[in-house]
Amino acid sequence: MNIYQPAEDSYLLQKNLKKYLKNKYKSIKILDMGSGSGIQAQTCRELGFNNVLTTDINQKAVFHLKSLNFKAIQTNLFEKIPKQKFDLIIFNPPYLPDDKREPEDSKLATTGGKNGYEIILKFLKQAKKHLSNQSTILLLFSSLSKPEIIKRTAKKLNYKIKEIDSQKLFFEKIYILKFHL
């Protein structure tokens, strides 16, 4: 499997991550879920945040992240993440609905399931155990991921949600949302 190369979604999350990290303690614990190339983790590091755990389901990405000297775990969402709380969890997930025309090789990074939101919902359910009342999730998804279903499920899971940014692309709009317990 190839490593996902930073694209518009990565840059929109990166921009909001930089804003979020302004005035935060440098010692906060950060989990970068689905780190891929490591763009978000590198951003944290460049701003002086070194307590970052990177993860990916893709073994190639994990080797790459280790070569950049990040702590990296190969895992399907939180399966192999030790029991601990994070102050910040960032995730640019696979968020598109299944498209038979897309090559299997890139699907792992782009396709969130039949409807697009399946991995996101699993992530939000599993993330709760790793959050305190002060923690934040920065999550990206698309108008194609059925945002209303994601927001409704998140509310049922007792998350407070705030949309903080969006960007119009060719066939979709991408959003950044902040989640709190």
Ligand X SMILES: C[S@@+](CC[C@H](N)C(=O)[O-])C[C@H]1O[C@@H](n2cnc3c(N)ncnc32)[C@H](O)[C@@H]1O
Per CB under 6 A, residues contacting ligand X are: 4, 6, 9-10, 13, 33-37, 39-40, 55-58, 61, 76-77, 92-94, 108-109, 119
From residue 34, alpha-carbon distances to 25, 148, 160 in Å are 23, 23, 23
Residue nearest to ligand X (CB): 34
Contact 114, 146 (CB under 8 A): no
From residue 123, alpha-carbon distances to 103, 120, 171 in Å are 24, 5, 25
Kindly report the backbone phi and psi dihedral angles of residue 95, in degrees, each rounded to the nearest multiple of 5, phi listed first: -130, 5
Q: Supply the minimum distance, in Å, between the C-beta of residue 160 and ligand X.
A: 24
Q: Supply the minimum distance, in Å, between the C-beta of residue 76 and ligand X.
A: 4
Name which of 53 and 160 has its Cβ closer to ligand X. Answer: 53
Name which of 82 and 133 has its Cβ closer to ligand X. Answer: 82
Q: Supply the minimum distance, in Å, between the C-beta of residue 38 and ligand X.
A: 8
Cα–Cα distance, 100 to 55 (Å, whole number):
27
Name which of 52 and 119 has its Cβ closer to ligand X. Answer: 119
SS3 118: helix
Determine which helix (DSSP H) or strand (DSSP E) holds 41, and give its type and residue range: helix 39-46
Residue 69, classified by CB atoms within 10 Å of its CB into exposed (0-12), middle (13-18) or buried (19+), is exposed
Q: Supply the minimum distance, in Å, between the C-beta of residue 139 and ligand X.
A: 11
Name which of 133 and 147 has its Cβ closer to ligand X. Answer: 147
Name which of 89 and 131 has its Cβ closer to ligand X. Answer: 89
Q: Supply the minimum distance, in Å, between the C-beta of residue 33 and ligand X.
A: 6
